[in-house]
């Protein structure tokens, strides 16, 4: 079988006949093509070795001829020296020289033939290289097609997963809203409030990420719950019903135990929005008067940042703790690293 004509399509057909598909089919075709290529390379090496041996034999013969020519020249010199007046001897030498030249011309033609054969061999090698390159391009295109299929499948899986999360978030929000309504109805009944009084009671607006600060909103929510005499066990559910956007998405990812505990939920939301001792220190460090803010309000805001920074860091509002906080702040600024 001529492996040089055994192209990729025949290997693929043979692999499919053997029941191979996908990566197995690709590996099978690559292995078969590599084996065919190696056999051709070995045949080429043997052909090249044969040509080298012929060239060595040719060179050896040339050297012998050169030695013969030298011998003839020496004999001619001796003959000319001894037999200058013998025309027949000189004619014989001329004929021998002519025969030698004829033989040399034949050798030149043989050398030219070998050069043409070598050129044809190189041309065949280039064609084989182009064929192997085509096979590599086909294999690469096949791999790209497989990768595109994998990416499309991954995209479909991600879209389905995102849709699943959206549905889960909707169900969680609905459950929280229903639970909040149930708690409101139960507390209204326990307190003996009438339906008209409940309707007239002020309602806490939902959290707005564009205008509300999470720490201030949480304090407002706690005061609102206390003013309405709600049980603390229901605060987390009522708060979750007022979350929107990013805060609601963050809440939906919390474990149930943490989401149902108001204290744990509050701490998680404060951490998420960077209302920690480090966060308050950055606010204290970078705060500037806002547009329309009076000097007294600006001072109160600074005091609020300082108090919350001390509270979240577990420090007391005394001179030693404040001094320690200032020293840490100055050290952090000087060495440009987090505390």
With a pLDDT cut of 90, the percent of the chain lying above it is 33
Quickly state the pLDDT bin for 43 (edges 50, 70, 90): very high
Q: For residue 174, is pLDDT > 80?
A: no
Average pLDDT in the chain: 81
Q: For residue 329, is pLDDT > 60?
A: no
Least confident of 23-37, 184-198, 272-286, 300-314: 184-198
| CA 305, 310, 313, 319 torsion-angle sign | positive
The continuous run of DSSP H or E covering 319 comes out as helix 319-335
- Which pLDDT value is given to residue 189? 53
The pLDDT tens digits for 145-155 are 788 888 888 77
End-to-end CA distance of the chain: 76
Instruction: Tell me if 107 sits within 8 A of 69, measured CB to CB.
Output: no
Q: Give mean pLDDT, residues 223-250.
A: 91
Least confident of 2-6, 109-113, 181-185, 203-207: 2-6
With a CB cutoff of 8 Å and minimum separation 6, the contacts of 231 are 187
- Which pLDDT value is given to residue 38? 92
Least confident of 108-112, 142-146, 323-327: 323-327
Q: For residue 24, is pLDDT > 70?
A: yes
- Which pLDDT value is given to residue 199? 43
- Which pLDDT value is given to residue 153? 80
Q: Which residues of 68-92 are buried (b: 16+ CB within 10 A; e: fewer)?
A: eeeeeeeebeebeeeeeeeeeeeee
Q: For residue 54, is pLDDT > 60?
A: yes
Instruction: Tell me if 96 sits within 8 A of 72, measured CB to CB.
Output: yes
- Which pLDDT value is given to residue 217? 93
Helix axes of 319-335 and 295-312: crossing angle, nearest 10 degrees: 90
Longest dimension (CA), the chain: 158
CA–CA gap between residue 130 and residue 135 (Å, rounded): 9
Q: Give mean pLDDT, residues 85-106.
A: 87
- Which pLDDT value is given to residue 151? 82
CA–CA gap between residue 308 and residue 77 (Å, rounded): 121
Q: What burial class does residue 209 get, using C-beta atoms within 10 Å of its C-beta: 0-12 exposed, 13-18 middle, 19+ buried?
A: middle
DSSP string over 114-164: HHHHHHHHHHHHHHHHHHHHHHHHHHHHHHHHHHHHHHHHHHHHHHHHHHH
Q: In Å, how far are 117, 293, 302, 303 from 296, measured between CA atoms?
A: 101, 8, 10, 11
Q: For residue 65, is pLDDT > 60?
A: yes
Q: In Å, how far are 48, 69, 100, 127, 239 from 58, measured between CA atoms?
A: 15, 16, 16, 29, 100
Q: Give mean pLDDT, residues 248-268.
A: 92
CA–CA gap between residue 189 and residue 7 (Å, rounded): 85
Who wins on pLDDT, 173 or 301?
Answer: 301
Who wins on pLDDT, 149 or 89?
Answer: 149
CA–CA gap between residue 32 and residue 15 (Å, rounded): 10
- Which pLDDT value is given to residue 335? 44
């Amino acid at each position: 079988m001529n492996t040089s004509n055994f192209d990729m399509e025949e290997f693929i057909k043979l692999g499919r006949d053997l029941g191979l598909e996908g990566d197995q089919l690709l590996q099978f075709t690559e292995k078969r093509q590599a084996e065919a290529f190696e056999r051709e390379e070995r045949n080429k090496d043997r052909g090249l070795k044969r040509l080298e041996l012929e060239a060595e034999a040719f060179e050896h013969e040339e050297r012998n001829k050169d030695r013969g020519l030298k011998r003839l020249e020496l004999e001619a010199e001796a003959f000319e020296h001894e037999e200058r007046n013998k025309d027949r001897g000189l004619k014989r030498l001329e004929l021998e020289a002519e025969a030698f030249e004829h033989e040399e011309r034949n050798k030149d033609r043989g050398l030219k033939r070998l050069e043409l054969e070598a050129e044809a061999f190189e041309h065949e090698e280039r064609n084989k290289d182009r064929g192997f390159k085509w096979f590599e391009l086909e294999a690469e295109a096949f791999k790209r097609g497989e990768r595109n299929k994998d990416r499309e499948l991954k995209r479909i899986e991600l879209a389905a997963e995102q849709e699943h999360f959206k549905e889960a978030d909707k169900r969680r929000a609905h459950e929280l809203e229903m639970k909040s309504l149930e708690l409101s109805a139960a507390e209204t009944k326990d307190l003996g409030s009438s339906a008209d009084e409940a309707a007239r009671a002020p309602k806490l607006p939902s959290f707005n990420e564009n205008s509300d600060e999470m720490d201030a909103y949480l304090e407002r929510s706690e005061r609102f719950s206390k003013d309405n005499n709600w049980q603390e066990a229901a605060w987390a559910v009522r708060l979750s019903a007022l979350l929107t956007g990013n805060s609601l998405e963050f809440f939906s990812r919390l474990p149930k135990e943490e989401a149902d505990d108001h204290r744990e939920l509050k701490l998680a939301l404060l951490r998420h929005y960077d209302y920690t001792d480090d966060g308050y220190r950055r606010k204290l460090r970078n705060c500037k008067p806002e547009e329309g803010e009076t000097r007294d309000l600006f001072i109160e805001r600074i005091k609020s940042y300082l108090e919350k920074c001390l509270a979240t860091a577990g420090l007391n509002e005394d001179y030693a703790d404040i001094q320690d906080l200032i020293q840490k702040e100055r050290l952090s600024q000087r060495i440009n690293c987090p505390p």
